[in-house]
A and B are shown apart, each in its own frame.
Chain A
Amino acid sequence: MKMKIKAIAVNTFKESARNKMFYLLVFFGILFALSSKLISFLTLGDAIKVLKDTGLAAINFFCVLIAIFTGINLVYKEIEKKTVFNILSKPVSRDQFIIGKFLGLALTMLTALAAMAGIFFLFVALSGGGFDLKIILYFFMLFLELLVIVAISLLFSSFTTPILSFIFTVSLYLIGHIMWTFNEFKLILRVPFWKYFTQALYYLLPNLDKFNIKNEVVMNTALNPWTIFFSVLYALAYILALLAVTILIFRKRDFQ
């Protein structure tokens, strides 16, 4: 069983890694991250802070792009081009297929992030920022966020078209970064139904801000280890829940 999941994961990684778009996005991620040096020249204040702030934002942006584009395309392409027939007609369960796809995408994201992060980490160090271990923690949290995004896009691509998957995933990504507003609604709303409804959404939708520690890294302020610990637990629970729903949908799907 493990071998089959591994085979599907490795094949998924190969598919992403042999896609020119993947390299292009990684290249631009690195380019924009390094070009933050130019911005730091043009702004007043701590140049290293500006370098970190803009560089990390660039890497974040391009990693999210890669996660969304690879996530929404891979399963859909398997179904559309009927390559899924060749896998599911063999002794491979649908659960194994989805788990293999997710792990393959996770490996893709890890590779993309490692390439961008490694270069940026060295760049900051060489620019006088020293070996800031908080940057590594930032990338770890970003990786968790990317895994959640990949799981969301995988869920949508298991039953809808890439365009709709893109719209849904991007919407959830944007909502996921303003989740605190949902919590504020309970202070504003007076009708109990809407109060409970917004609270339900607050707990149901992905709170991606939990993984954002950029301010602490850039401003070099203290990080609460418990916050990090609960964010990791939250990511794992959320990913497992998303994969479970994806598997349930995929189990019932007819491949016409």
Chain B
Amino acid sequence: MKALEIKDLKKTFHSNFLFKKYRVLKGINLNVEKGEIYGFLGPNGAGKTTTIKCILGLLFPDQGEILIDGQPAAAVASRCRIGFLPENPYFYDYLSARELLFFSASLFNLTAAEVRDRVAALIHQVGLSGHQDLKLRKFSKGMIQRLGLAQALIHNPDFLILDEPFSGLDPIGRKDLRTIILSLREQGKTIFFSSHILQDMEMMVDRVGIILNGSMRREGKLSELISRSTQYYEIICSHIAEKELAKIQANFACRDGQYSITLASDSDINQVVESIIHNNGRIVAVNQVKMTLEDIFFNEMGPSRPATTGPHRPATTGDSR
């Protein structure tokens, strides 16, 4: 059973002047299975938030169908099962955290006892104990983000939609949020979150969809997308003279007294390793370097992509001098 199904979603915005049209979504197709964490990945302006707003009924699509648990998303009742954390959330700053959670709870059909229990449990879960009676105007961005997650969870929803949940969080906040999201998956909840922060995606998601310029470029299990292709092989060695190494393999780089040799295929690995050992060199590691989510993402972006400068990628041109 699918938690979310989007078919051929299209949305156009109109400029106030000159009636210019902007096609923001150009036929999005997307499926989220129950119980999974789905990462909705795309650069700023790709159409992530617009898609989310269409799911929640904040925007009306020009065309397409959105189903939540098989029911049309436009129905108010379908939002009973959804918890939503908006991007850079802003809440009524004249309320305290506790008041905001009580207000959020009052918009669902919960009993007074349920509300009390949920509010107390969530304040503890998101790490706001001791701050529950502080007015929100005194909250930091990280605290607001935690509170945003708490209000999204107030009715114990099956399906969570988080729009850029990691933006503005410090490393501790990000780790805490990751832990909470993973524990929610353990509880069987479905989580759909958008982000342009690749590391967070790679650490958590089961499946990923990449959106660029309003179109879905790729969708699939993260493990399949990443393991589908090995980029190159890397041999790291030491205790060998550069002259000798240059005779064995022209393409290498020197870093911290160690040499990194890059091979396009695995056919030459044995021969190169044997030659290094034969020249009294020491093999430190042999790595199979696979595509990361970042590589996949930038490949999809095509020629307009920025230069890849990831720390995992060794220099592959040989001369170290």
A residues lining the B interface (CB < 8 Å): 3-4, 6-8, 11, 14-15, 18-19, 81-83, 85-93, 252, 254-256
Contact B86 A89 (CB under 8 A): yes
Interface majority SS on B: helix, strand, loop or mixed?
Answer: loop
Within B44-70, which residues are at the interface with A (CB < 8 Å)?
Answer: 53, 56-60
B contacts with A, residue count (CB < 8 A): 27
Cα–Cα distance between A7 and B89 once the two chains are bound (Å): 20
List chain B residues, Cβ under 8 A from A3: 106, 109
Distance of A118 from chain B, by nearest CB (Å): 25
Contact B106 A91 (CB under 8 A): no
Nearest 4 interchain pairs by C-beta: A7-B106, A89-B84, A18-B94, A255-B58
10 contacts between A and B (CB under 8 A): A11-B95, A83-B90, A85-B58, A88-B57, A90-B84, A91-B108, A92-B107, A252-B60, A254-B59, A255-B53
List chain B residues, Cβ under 8 A from A19: 94
List chain B residues, Cβ under 8 A from A83: 90-92
Contact B79 A7 (CB under 8 A): no
A87-B107, A89-B82, A92-B107 are known contacts. Are A254 and B60 too (CB-CB below 8 A)?
Answer: yes
Contact B59 A256 (CB under 8 A): yes
B80 part of interface (Cβ distance < 8 Å): yes
Contact B107 A256 (CB under 8 A): no
User: Which residue in B53, B59, B80, B90 is a CB contact (below 8 Å) of A91?
Assistant: B80
A7-B106, A256-B13 are known contacts. Are A86 and B151 too (CB-CB below 8 A)?
Answer: yes
A86-B151, A254-B60, A255-B59 are known contacts. Are A92 and B76 too (CB-CB below 8 A)?
Answer: yes
B232 part of interface (Cβ distance < 8 Å): no
The residue in A4, A15, A254 that gathers the most chain B C-beta atoms within 10 A of its C-beta is A254
Residue ID in chain B nearest A90 by CB atoms: B107
Contact A90 B90 (CB under 8 A): no
Cα–Cα distance between A3 and B107 once the two chains are bound (Å): 7
Cα–Cα distance between A82 and B94 once the two chains are bound (Å): 15
Cα–Cα distance between A56 and B254 once the two chains are bound (Å): 88
User: Which residue in B57, B90, B106 is a CB contact (below 8 Å) of A4?
Assistant: B106
Chain A-chain B contacts (Cβ-Cβ < 8 Å), number: 70
List chain B residues, Cβ under 8 A from A92: 76, 107
List chain B residues, Cβ under 8 A from A14: 94-95
Distance of B55 from chain A, by nearest CB (Å): 9
With A11-B95, A91-B108 already in contact, 4 other A-B pairs whose C-beta atoms are closer than 8 Å: A82-B90, A83-B92, A88-B56, A255-B59
List chain A residues, Cβ under 8 A from B79: 89-91
Cα–Cα distance between A4 and B84 once the two chains are bound (Å): 18
- Contact bitstring B75-112, A, C-beta under 8 A = 1, else 0: 01101101010100111101100000001101111000
Cα–Cα distance between A86 and B82 once the two chains are bound (Å): 12
Distance of A54 from chain B, by nearest CB (Å): 35
List chain A residues, Cβ under 8 A from B90: 81-83
A83-B91, A86-B86 are known contacts. Are A91 and B58 too (CB-CB below 8 A)?
Answer: no
List chain B residues, Cβ under 8 A from A88: 56-58
Residue ID in chain A nearest B148 by CB atoms: A86
Cα–Cα distance between A8 and B92 once the two chains are bound (Å): 12
Contact A7 B103 (CB under 8 A): yes
User: Which residue in B58, B59, B76, B84 is a CB contact (below 8 Å) of A93?
Assistant: B76
Cα–Cα distance between A87 and B154 once the two chains are bound (Å): 13
Distance of B191 from chain A, by nearest CB (Å): 16
Contact B91 A91 (CB under 8 A): no
User: Which residue in A11, A15, A89, A252 is a CB contact (below 8 Å) of B58?
Assistant: A89
List chain B residues, Cβ under 8 A from A18: 94
Cα–Cα distance between A20 and B94 once the two chains are bound (Å): 11
Contact A82 B59 (CB under 8 A): no
Cα–Cα distance between A83 and B107 once the two chains are bound (Å): 14
List chain B residues, Cβ under 8 A from A7: 103, 106-107
List chain A residues, Cβ under 8 A from B13: 256
Cα–Cα distance between A90 and B79 once the two chains are bound (Å): 6
Contact A86 B58 (CB under 8 A): no
User: Which residue in B56, B60, B92, B106 is a CB contact (below 8 Å) of A89?
Assistant: B56
List chain B residues, Cβ under 8 A from A8: 107
Residue ID in chain A nearest B49 by CB atoms: A256
Contact B95 A90 (CB under 8 A): no
User: Which residue in B53, B92, B108 is a CB contact (below 8 Å) of A90?
Assistant: B108
User: Which residue in A4, A6, A86, A254 is a CB contact (below 8 Å) of B89?
Assistant: A86
A7-B103, A86-B104 are known contacts. Are A91 and B76 too (CB-CB below 8 A)?
Answer: yes
Residue ID in chain A nearest B78 by CB atoms: A91
Residue ID in chain A nearest B109 by CB atoms: A3
Residue ID in chain A nearest B94 by CB atoms: A18
Residue ID in chain A nearest B90 by CB atoms: A81
A85-B86, A254-B59, A254-B60 are known contacts. Are A91 and B107 too (CB-CB below 8 A)?
Answer: yes
